[in-house]
Amino acid sequence: MIQLRRDPFPSMATTALQVKASPRPNSRVVLEVEVPGDCSKAAYDATVNKLCRTVKLPGFRKGRVPRPLLIQRATALEDLMEDAVRDAIRRDDLHLIGQPVLKDAFDDLLGRFRPGESLSFSLESDVRPTPRLKRYTGLTARADSVTYDPARLDDLLERRRLRLSTFVPVEDRAAAIDDMVVLKCEAHYSDDGSAIEGGSSDSVEVILIRDKSIPGFVDGVVGMKPGDSRTVECTIPADHGDEEARGRKAVFQLELLELKSRELPTLDDAFARQCSDQETLAALRQELEQQLKDEAEQGTIDQRHEALLEALTAELEVEIPEVMVRQEFSRMLQETVAELGPQDMDLRKVLTDEKVEHLFETGRPEAVEQLRHRLALQALITAEGISVDDDDVEEKVRQALETFTGSGDVDMEKLRERVREDMLNAKALTWLDENNSVQMSDAALENPSAEAPPAMAAAAEAPQVSAETAPHDSSDDQDSTR
């Protein structure tokens, strides 16, 4: 619990250690380390010798304290301090953030420590702040309404047609946008002629959708016919995932093996049954229309709540410890990495300490803003005694577990804590809406449908260029979900 400010053990020779590395999933490794006896004794002796040279105990000259007595005193002092800090935290109901740090020199404390006599020492630690609201009623906010757009209904139907589309071979024309091509590809960098890792293939399927490949690659393929060969040169974007590839010119030697055209299903009752639980196209249209209306209504509520939360946060008085800001940023970063998924696990190699620190400086304002929002809601929840039923929390936890698709064990305590916090925040926002006023503007926002427009849908189904800048096999990219 306490970070004692002592010098670390001297370094051990790495050749003296016995280490066994066992790979584990998710880019992890288990290290089994065996420290030889001479190394552990050296570390032990170094600590005791240092204390023997520096600690003064009553009745002994400096540097002449018997080793057994010194070790006994040091152990007793550490145990005493651990117990004292634990009791102090429990008695005063302190909410510490991070580890408390001992301000006194441990050597001095050991010299002053006399069993049976009082001992004073100081610790420093960040504590969870107590947020205060200057007011939380009588607030006025402005928000934009979200309106139902009937045109979105056709967009949703078109997206579902794209999901069920098929590709059929064609030979009497050249490749065009939205076609699927089967390519033989060899790729290398033009500056040094080195091969692009993963950039060559004897047969790779690519759907010709711009913005999902390196700029210029798709346009370089358009116009080719089966049997044609072509050299396509592209410049890898500056924001590409592979840092070493950024800004470099790539050369692709292409041969078009096959050309396929997309065929969309007819909008009829059979289509409705294929892509939904509805029996007719009319019933499907009615279902999607209601979905869009519900989303527009919820979108308006969300806009109201966001505006009120900003107004509430403006009334917040709080000092946020720096360690809390860093913890919030760490949470944001972890969520971002988790959303990217296993295919981007190489981010663990890319995110060095230096880069993480740079990201922190960039993301710090957002972390502070999110913390202020949460603390403002916490202050409102405390002031109004807002609560949620334990049974309701458990039901939400059960629902969350049913939809959990990740691997590994779930930290149930953290899950319950997160679910409870979300439910409390939702009730607090509802209370805020009911007890304050929001002026809705006439300029309405477009309905943010859960399903993307057709262009985005097609792009989602197109294969992406790999991290090594080459197109990849698109056989698994067709969305067959209903």
Which pLDDT tens digit goes with each residue over 195-247?
Answer: 988 889 999 999 999 877 889 999 999 999 999 999 999 998 888 877 788 88
The least confident of 206-215, 354-363, 437-446 is 437-446
Quick check: is 180 in a domain?
yes
Mean pLDDT of 370-396: 96
Residues 215 and 323 in one domain: no
Residues 292 and 401 in one domain: yes
Quick check: is 96 in a domain?
yes
Residues 317 and 380 in one domain: yes
For the domain that residue 243 is a member of, what is the CATH number? 3.10.50.40
Are 465 and 472 in contact by the 8 Å Cβ rule? The answer is yes
Q: The whole model's pTM is what?
A: 0.63
- Reply yes or no on whether the pLDDT at 446 is more than 70: no
3-state secondary structure 218-260: HHHHCCCCCCCEEEEEEECCCCCCCHHHCCCEEEEEEEEEEEE
Quick check: is 279 in a domain?
yes
Q: How far apart are CA 29 and CA 232, in angstroms?
A: 41
Mean pLDDT of 356-371: 91
- Reply yes or no on whether the pLDDT at 143 is more than 50: yes
- Model confidence at 427, pLDDT cuts 50, 70, 90, reads very high
Mean pLDDT of 352-358: 82
DSSP 8-state secondary structure symbol assigned to residue 31 = E
Residues 422 and 364 in one domain: yes
Q: Which long-range contacts (CB under 8 A, 24 or more apart) does 232-239 make?
A: 233/190, 234/469, 236/469
For 261-275, what is each residue's pLDDT tens digit? 999 999 999 999 999
Quote the pLDDT of residue 168: 95
Quote the pLDDT of residue 27: 26
For 387-417, what is each residue's pLDDT tens digit? 999 999 999 999 988 887 666 678 898 899 9
How buried is residue 471: exposed, middle or buried, by Cβ count under 10 Å (0-12/13-18/19+)?
buried
Residues 214 and 319 in one domain: no
- Model confidence at 441, pLDDT cuts 50, 70, 90, reads confident
465: left (phi > 0), else alpha (psi -120 to 50), else beta? beta
Quote the pLDDT of residue 197: 84
Q: Which residues contact 51 (CB under 8 A, 6 or more apart)?
A: 65, 70, 74, 107, 110
Q: DSSP labels for 333-402?
A: HHHHHHHH-GGGTTHHHH--HHHHHHHHHHHHHHHHHHHHHHHHHHHHHHHHT----HHHHHHHHHHHHH
- Reply yes or no on whether the pLDDT at 33 is more than 50: no
- Reply yes or no on whether the pLDDT at 449 is more than 70: no
- Model confidence at 40, pLDDT cuts 50, 70, 90, reads very low
Residues 41 and 73 in one domain: yes
Mean pLDDT of 91-116: 73
Q: Which residues contact 155 (CB under 8 A, 6 or more apart)?
A: 449, 451, 453, 454
Amino acid at 37: G
Quote the pLDDT of residue 233: 94
For 294-347, what is each residue's pLDDT tens digit? 999 999 999 999 999 999 999 999 988 888 898 899 888 888 877 765 544 455
Looking at the structure of the chain, the number of domains it has is 3
- Reply yes or no on whether the pLDDT at 457 is more than 90: no
- Model confidence at 43, pLDDT cuts 50, 70, 90, reads very low
Q: What is the largest CA-CA distance in the chain?
A: 103
Quote the pLDDT of residue 35: 41
Quick check: is 7 in a domain?
no
Residues 294 and 252 in one domain: no
Quote the pLDDT of residue 349: 60
Quick check: is 155 in a domain?
no
At 91 the three-state DSSP class reads helix
Dig out the tokens for 310 from the structure. 């900003």
- Reply yes or no on whether the pLDDT at 79 is more than 80: no
Quick check: is 467 in a domain?
no
Structural domain boundaries, residue 333: 140-146+273-445
Quick check: is 268 in a domain?
no
Quote the pLDDT of residue 384: 96
Residues 297 and 211 in one domain: no
Dig out the tokens for 268 from the structure. 């009829």
DSSP 8-state secondary structure symbol assigned to residue 213 = S
The least confident of 90-104, 135-149, 179-193, 340-354 is 340-354
Quote the pLDDT of residue 32: 45
Mean pLDDT of 13-35: 40
Strand partners, 235: 249
Residues 182 and 212 in one domain: yes
Mean pLDDT of 157-164: 94
Average pLDDT of the residues of the chain: 78
Give the CA distances from residue 179 to residues 165, 209, 222, 327, 458, in Å, rounded to whole numbers and listed in that order. Answer: 12, 8, 9, 47, 11
For the domain that residue 318 is a member of, what is the CATH number? 1.10.3120.10
Q: What percent of the chain has pLDDT over 70?
A: 68
Quote the pLDDT of residue 219: 93
Q: How far apart are CA 321 and CA 318, in angstroms?
A: 10
Quick check: is 38 in a domain?
yes
408: left (phi > 0), else alpha (psi -120 to 50), else beta? left
Residue listed under structure tokens 């949703």: 156
Dig out the tokens for 241 from the structure. 């995932």
Are 180 and 205 in contact by the 8 Å Cβ rule? The answer is yes
